[in-house]
Amino acid sequence: MPRVDQLVRVAPEIIKMGCFARVETNGGGFEQINLLFGENPNIAVRQWCRPFNEAGIQTHMLDRSLNGLRMSPVPADVRKLFYKVKKAQGTDITRCFCGLNDPRNIIASIKYAKEAGMIAQATLSITVSEVHNIKYYCDLADELIKNGADEICLKDMAGIGRPATLGKIVKYIKEKNPKIIVQYHGQTGPGFTPASILEVCRNGCDIIDVGMEPLSWGTGHADVIMVREMLEDAGFKVPKIDMAAYMRARALTQEFMDDFLGYFIPESNRRLQSLLIASGLPGGMMGSLMNDLKDNLVSVNKSLAKRGEAELTIDELLIKLFDEVAYVWPRVGYPPLVTPFSQYVKNLAMFNLMQLTKGKERWTMIADNIWDMILGKAGKLPGDVDPVIKNLAKEQGREFYTGDPQALYPDKLDVFKAEMKEKGWDFGPDDEELFELAMHPEQYRAFKSGKAKADFEIELALQKEKAKKCKEGTPAPIEEQSVQVEVNGEKFLVKISYTDAKSDIEAKSESVPTTPIISSDKVKQIVAPLEGKFYLTNSSSETAVKVGDVIKKGDLLCYIESMKTYNAISSESDGKVIEICFNNSDSVQEDDVLFKLQ
């Protein structure tokens, strides 16, 4: 996700290439990333869409239906505003998908999008299991078209759709609905995608999603040059590519990667590997998975070392993770492995592995949003939940839900309007700033305060330091080092520690206690069970724990956001809170002291 100044530079070359009917300009994780590096996403979307709007190239975005642009459910009034804002900003088409393929979630998005004047492309999230057969997807397409879908997208997010099966689904849709545009989206990681593209086109598919070097292939899309040549050879009418413009767009993309994007792209993203077929994990999350895995490896090996067992390499941990995903997935009802449920299944598998290495049982660390998926609060699961997990839910007093998921998340715009007015924030054209706060509350607040920009600059400095060490071939020192980073005239001292000469650089932020430490022999410490970001609350409806509060064993204290899920941390004993050791969004490591009780 480049900065807006970079996007505006590359847009003219993409237009000059002359081969694109559509360009994906925003949606999904795009806008959260804008916020995370301190950029206003509304300005980015407007400026990025404008040149394509003027050139007559359609712009489209990805949206997560009930979840809007984020990982968690969104109130209906915020969802309605979402489409109005995006249409006003220049987005023509929305690709609505539900990670569970629950038509109720998608149909609501179709309605809201069309009311806002957008083209509503409804999505089949493709996966392979005993319940996800050709009839399942054909029936889903029928229901979505009956309820107003203008187009259908086959979202083969992991690239594991089998070519012949995908062709049969497309053929069914086109024979029954010849005027419905069908678009195919496939990641290339497992290797099926070129064959899948040819098969869906032979059966009537209209538009194919492609990528460009140096970001195509691997966990991305097939490259536009290969796709064009393959389809022309097969007798299809496809537009020509202005190769001079292609080369300029390619060079600019490499420049953006060299500038800062490349520091956050794992080398493994470039590779194709058939191991992904079994796990079914999507390309869109493989980059974050590989980054997370480095931190997970440190935690897992720390536990193994304590038990006197042999440590794992990152490849060994990856295979164990894939195996555990295969174990977990059917037991939680076969949710299609797409955002956010791919992250939930992967995270649950990783939490199981981490607990097993500590000598504990599976299923002893399940984040609340994973529970919401299991319980039906995000939509109906395609398969049945394992009896072991059902019994665990009953023991914890959790109830399964079969109603409309949207009913669980009431309207909330008035709350955010009040916050905007209280803080004196501009609502922006078409209420776009209000929308941004409502869609991404924590990230937007961090953006407005400048904290997001500062955190990003610090993280970038760490990544550059790491790359410098690797380039020099210098082994990382054992002792702690410091890097000074300046953001908007303010200087930050970042401490870097190294567990050993082979480990990655690890930032340890200095926390600011909310109250002085009180010395007592009876002080009890609540420690972090995993690394991540510390948050006292997960929504505006929760009341944050504060110093002086008396709590009971089992009471919720905070959350640790790790691997895109908020993991609830409960008190292990009774006591009075005498110190909160971290501030909201601070990074914490496993075994860091979070709270002190007396």
Contact 154, 183 (CB under 8 A): yes
pLDDT mean by block of 10 residues, the chain; 598 residues: 93 97 89 88 96 97 94 94 97 95 97 98 94 96 98 94 97 98 94 96 98 90 96 96 97 94 80 71 60 74 83 83 90 89 88 85 88 94 95 94 95 96 96 96 91 88 82 56 56 51 39 38 82 82 87 88 79 91 86 91
Task: Check the CA dihedral 512-516-520-526 and report its sign.
Answer: negative
Residue 512, burial from CB neighbour count under 10 angstroms (0-12, 13-18, 19+): exposed
> What pLDDT does residue 503 have?
37
Cα atoms in the Cβ-side hemisphere of radius 13 Å centred on 333: 24
**Residues 487, 479, 266, 442: is their CA dihedral positive or negative?**
negative
Provide the 3-class DSSP secondary structure of residue 39.
coil
Question: What is the Cα–Cα distance from 72 to 66, expressed in whole angstroms?
Answer: 8
What domains can be seen in the chain, in order of their start residue? 126-239 (3.20.20.70), 275-407 (no CATH), 451-508 (no CATH), 524-597 (2.40.50.100)
Q: What per-residue confidence (pLDDT) applies to 80?
A: 97
Structure tokens, 521: 């022999």
- Helices in 396-500 by DSSP H: which ranges? 413-423, 432-439, 441-449, 451-472
**What does each C-alpha distance from 350 to 243, 290, 296, 507 come to in angstroms?**
44, 12, 8, 22
Among 133, 183, 153, 152, CA closest to 334: 133
Q: Across-strand partners of 477?
A: none
Give the separation between CA 389 and CA 373, rounded to whole angstroms: 12
Whether 587 and 526 have beta carbons less than 8 Å apart is answered as: no
Biggest distance spanned by C-alpha atoms of the chain: 80
Amino acid at 488: N
- The continuous run of DSSP H or E covering 221 comes out as none
What pLDDT does 250 receive? 96
* Cα separation, 128 vs 544, whole angstroms: 42
Q: Alpha-carbon distance 32 to 26, whole Å? A: 10
The per-residue pLDDT for 471 is: 72
Encoded tokens for 390: 């059902």
Per-residue confidence (pLDDT) for residue 287, from 0 to 100: 56
For residue 543, the model assigns a pLDDT of: 84
